[in-house]
Amino acid sequence: MIRAVAAAILALLAASCASIGAFNHTTPHDEGVVRAANDVPYGDGPRRTLDVYAPEARPTNAPVIVFFYGGGWSSGAKGDYTFAGDAFAAQGFVTFVPDYRVYPEVRFPGFVEDAAEALRWVQANAARYGGDPDRIVLVGHSAGAHIAMLTALDPHYAQQADFDRSAIRGVVGLAGAYGFDNFNMPLLRNVFGAATDPMTAMPVHFASRNAPPILLLHGDRDRRVPVRSSTRMYQVAHEAGQQAEVKIYRGVDHPGIIQSLAIARRNEAPALADTVAFAQRVTGVQHVAADAPTPAGAH
């Protein structure tokens, strides 16, 4: 559905998680955050656990962010993204970062079903950590953006997992893959080939007036997921009457957009500030800008 996305997305499988893990361990993290819980099961098996980050002040009824990392639907670990959990929690959000099963353990829709189960758990338990279960924003990077978007936009997952879809106030996708044009390519065939209807794997297919607002962020130097993925998702959502925004950052590549959430890289792209402003707006929080200068190239 989106030309050139399928070819470029192959690079996601080859991308190593080692680099993001090393970045996570060496980059400065935000202060004023507590790790409220580690490795909490939301389902059966070692890949269905989550971590919880909370503001040190431990507010009551704070808005919630659920963050899904990327990794080509075949890799990734929540422990490599503590910088992201700290960044969102420092901005006042009770933040949940789940692991989910990946290929080859599961194929589509297994990882999306895990995301839905994680959301059911978050709704049932957010208040224990000071979060408001009725004000949830999903944030995802790369394959995680695909998972977040599909979980929110396709009502099937809310019905199956029995979570309240109306509690999802918005979705932020960072360099996400939202549609594919060639399921015969190796990665897509392996991960999505069992889908009875390929359209069910594409978030662009589920854009609608009744879907939650979305914010699409992308770097114009992304060689793994082309900018066209986000601009097309925006176009389809806009035409369907769904609230949608898209922002393209100049000079930013695929790993750069997620790394810009960390303190040391925030001068390269305002991804944190834009995500926080959107999440505050859709959850009814008075806007307080994140400490992230806007680079001259952002537009």
pLDDT at 74: 95
The model's pTM: 0.91
pLDDT(162) > 90: yes
pLDDT tens profile 26-56: 999 999 999 999 999 999 999 999 999 999 9
* Residue span of the structural domain in which 239 resides: 5-283
Query: Residue 100, CB half-sphere, CA atoms under 13 Å: how many?
Result: 33
**Mean per-residue pLDDT for 75-84?**
98
**Looking at the domain assignment, is residue 197 inside a domain?**
yes
Question: pLDDT grade, residue 18 (50/70/90)?
Answer: low
Q: Is pLDDT of 290 > 60? A: no
Average pLDDT over residues 112-122: 98
Tell me how many domains the chain contains.
1
pLDDT tops 60 at residue 146: yes
Where residue 160 falls among pLDDT bands split at 50, 70, 90?
very high
pLDDT band with cut points at 50, 70 and 90 for residue 299: very low
Question: Closest Cα partner for 62 from 139, 130, 120?
Answer: 130
What mean pLDDT comes out for the span 22-28? 97
Residue 271 is assigned to a structural domain of this protein:
yes
pLDDT (mean) for 92-119: 98
Bin 235: left if φ > 0, else alpha if -120 < ψ < 50, else beta.
alpha
Q: How many whole angstroms from its chain centre is CA 297?
A: 23
Q: Tell me, what's the pLDDT at 219?
A: 98
- 99 and 78 Cβ atoms separated by less than 8 Å: yes
Measured from the Cβ of residue 82, the count of other Cβ atoms closer than 10 Å reads 18
**pLDDT-based confidence at residue 189 (cuts at 50, 70, 90):** confident
Residue 289 counted as domain residue: no
The per-residue pLDDT of the chain, averaged, comes to: 91
Residue 291 is assigned to a structural domain of this protein: no
* Residue 288: inside a domain: no
Residue 290 maps to a domain: no
Q: How much is the pLDDT for 137?
A: 99
CA 218/CA 231 separation, integer angstroms: 9
* Total number of residues shown for the chain: 299
User: Is 53 part of any domain?
Assistant: yes
Domain of 201, CATH number, reads: 3.40.50.1820
Residue 240 has pLDDT above 90, yes or no: yes
For 250-287, write each residue's pLDDT tens digit: 999 999 999 999 999 999 999 999 999 999 999 998 75
CA 62 to chain centre: 19
Q: Summarize the confidence of residues 201-214 as an average pLDDT.
A: 97
Residue 296 resides in a domain: no
